């Protein structure tokens, strides 16, 4: 059975829940079993927000995750909370724009992506979550970038359709950043 658990965490307003929704839709649209559980503090924007997504080829026994295969962390409190919960040989994707400490663990794969800077280059700082999602797609290819783009196209609210090209660019840039970083390491 192939099952992958993912936690996406950051401040409210960074799009962590939306990133998880996009992954969940992409999994559903491609015949996978999926759970998506959002969690956020009462203050929402500015408070801590995270979601858990499980993608599987078979029915999912429990939506609860103690040790995720992947953690995507957009801020320092999220790194502090999830660094030591990621499974050995798991993946940790870190927003280097807001996190300036190094990963202490050596038994996981990790990457620092300057997501805010990349999003600002694209023209919309709110796209940092999509940059991170693109990087995650390279690091843990549970779904392809095309599957995620298609799901976003199908499920984005009409009022946000105009942002699709920037969302796609953000995902592509995050993917390319991760790919380039790992090609340098293995070269």
Q: Using an 8 Å Cβ cutoff, are 135 and 176 in contact?
A: no
**What b/e string do you get for 74-96 counting C-beta neighbours within 10 Å, with b at 16 or more?**
bbeebbebbbeebbeebbbbbbe
What is the rounded radius of gyration, in angstroms, for the C-alpha atoms of the chain? 15
Number of domains present in the structure of the chain: 1
Q: Which residue range(s) make up the domain with 168? A: 3-186
Tell whether the model's pLDDT for residue 172 goes beyond 90.
yes
pLDDT by residue (tens digit) across 37-90?
998 765 555 677 999 999 999 999 998 999 999 999 999 999 999 999 999 999
The confidence band for 12, taking pLDDT boundaries of 50, 70 and 90, is confident
pLDDT by residue (tens digit) across 94-115?
999 999 999 999 999 999 999 9
What whole-number distance in Å separates Cα of residue 134 and Cα of residue 172?
Answer: 6
Q: 61, exposed or middle or buried, with CB in 10 Å at 0-12, 13-18, 19+?
A: exposed
* CA neighbor of 122 nearest in space, from 177, 176, 171, 158: 171
The CATH number linked to 9 is 3.40.920.10
Q: What is the pLDDT of residue 46?
A: 60
């Amino acid at each position: 059975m192939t099952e992958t658990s993912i936690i996406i965490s950051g401040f409210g307003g960074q799009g962590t829940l939306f990133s998880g929704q996009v992954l969940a839709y992409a999994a559903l649209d491609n015949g996978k079993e999926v759970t998506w559980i959002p969690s956020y503090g009462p203050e929402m924007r500015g408070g801590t927000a995270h979601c858990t997504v499980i993608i599987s080829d078979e029915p999912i026994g429990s939506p609860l995750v103690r040790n995720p295969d992947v953690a995507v962390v957009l801020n320092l409190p999220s790194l502090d909370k999830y660094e030591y919960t990621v499974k050995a040989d798991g993946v940790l994707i870190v927003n280097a724009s807001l996190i300036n400490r190094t990963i202490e663990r050596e038994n996981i794969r990790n990457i620092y992506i300057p997501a805010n800077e990349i999003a600002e280059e694209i023209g919309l700082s709110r796209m940092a979550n999509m940059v991170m999602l693109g990087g995650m797609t390279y690091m843990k290819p549970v779904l392809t970038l095309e599957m995620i783009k298609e799901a976003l196209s199908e499920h984005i609210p009409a009022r946000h359709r105009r942002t699709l090209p920037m969302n796609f660019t953000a995902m592509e840039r995050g993917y390319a950043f991760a790919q380039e970083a790992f090609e340098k390491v293995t070269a």
